[in-house]
Amino acid sequence: MTSGRNYSRRTTSRTPSPQYQRPPSREQRGRGTLGPRKTFRQKLVDAIFRIPPRMRLYIAIALLVVIIASLLTAVFSGGDEEDVAEPVATTTSPAPLDVSVNPSKPVEMHIPSLDLRAEFEQESCATTDGAIDPESMSKACTYTADDRPYSLPGTDASDIVVIAGHTGAGVPAVFNDLYDGSADKHQVHIGDELFIRTEESGDLWLVYEATDLHEPEKSGLSQSEEIWGTSATPGRLLTISCIQPANLLQAAVKNAVVGWQYSRVVDAI
């Protein structure tokens, strides 16, 4: 049976639609396989080489100038600081004078190593029950007596010179700095110098050097041949004080004795 229109069926050919495909990945779009990330140093090098050669030359010259200027500043400023921080110390001492100073009462004494300065009582040291007992806490004294051979300081002193001074248990006293009771040790060292100005020396100073240190019991001080010797000792001088114990409630039962030997006369300290 034919169709009612009596014409043949028209046929057309259509190209089928392609199937849907996902877009290619980054690797397939021409970038290839991802490599390791560059370090900051590599990026910096790449950036430098992208700078024109002439510009790189100018930058290098500028950096060199800055480095040289910094080095010069450090050298010169460092030298100035060193000169200020470490001044050259002068150790010159006054030359000895060829003079003679007769024995006389001392007026002033000074021990530079301790920064100790002391004035003297006008009279000889007082005594209590046969023991030297200066009247003043703030002044030193020299001990002389009719029954003792002790001398006053001078270049030609005939025998030993005795200088005494008080120390105080927690209170100021003229010879506090000679001995450290809490550490139980002398503050004077062998070779330290003692300067004494007397009525006869005027502005000149008699200089003595420390030679020996002692800590005798008070009861045995007067019998110590090590301190006093067995015969006359011209040029020898003693400084005598009490040792205050670390416990301020305890009694002072020892003396601090320093032996000194006459050295020279100078006109300045």
Q: How far are the Cα atoms of 114, 162, 218, 241, 243 from residue 192, in angstroms, in the given order?
A: 9, 18, 25, 17, 20
The reply to whether 193 falls in a domain is yes
47 and 151 inside one domain: no
pLDDT tens, position by position, 197-253: 999 999 999 999 999 999 999 999 999 999 999 999 999 999 999 999 888 778 889
| 1-33 per-position pLDDT tens digit | 444 445 455 555 555 555 545 555 544 444 444
- pTM of the complete model beyond 0.85: no
> pLDDT, tens digit, for every residue of 231-240?
999 999 999 9
Identify whether the C-beta of residue 113 lies closer than 8 Å to the C-beta of residue 189: yes
Instruction: Let me know if residue 224 belongs to a domain.
Output: yes
Q: Does residue 18 fall inside a structural domain?
A: no
Instruction: Provide the number of structural domains found in the chain.
Output: 2
- Buried b / exposed e across 47-63, counting CB within 10 Å, b at 16+? eeeeeeeeeeeeeeeee
- Boundary residue ending a domain (59, 75, 91): 75
For residue 114, tell me if it sits in a domain: yes
Cβ contact 241:179 at 8 Å: yes
**pLDDT-derived band of residue 114, with 50, 70 and 90 as boundaries?**
very high
Give Cβ neighbours of residue 1 (< 8 Å, ≥ 6 apart): none
pLDDT of residue 190: 98
For residue 222, the tally of other CB atoms under 10 A from its CB is: 12
What's the Cα-to-Cα distance from 231 to each of 157, 168, 214, 254, rounded to whole Å?
A: 14, 33, 19, 24
Inter-residue contact 139 to 88 (CB < 8 Å) = no
In a domain, 92, yes or no: no
Six-digit token pair at 122? 């006008």
Better pLDDT: 69 or 156: 156
Q: Are residues 131 and 203 in the same domain?
A: yes
Are 45 and 123 in the same domain?
A: no
Per residue in 119-168, pLDDT (tens digit) is 999 999 999 988 999 999 999 999 999 999 999 999 999 999 999 999 99
pLDDT, mean of residues 55-73: 79
Q: Quick one: average pLDDT of 37-58?
A: 70
Token look-up 């004078």 returns 97
Q: How buried is residue 213: exposed, middle or buried, by Cβ count under 10 Å (0-12/13-18/19+)? A: middle
Domain span at 65: 41-75
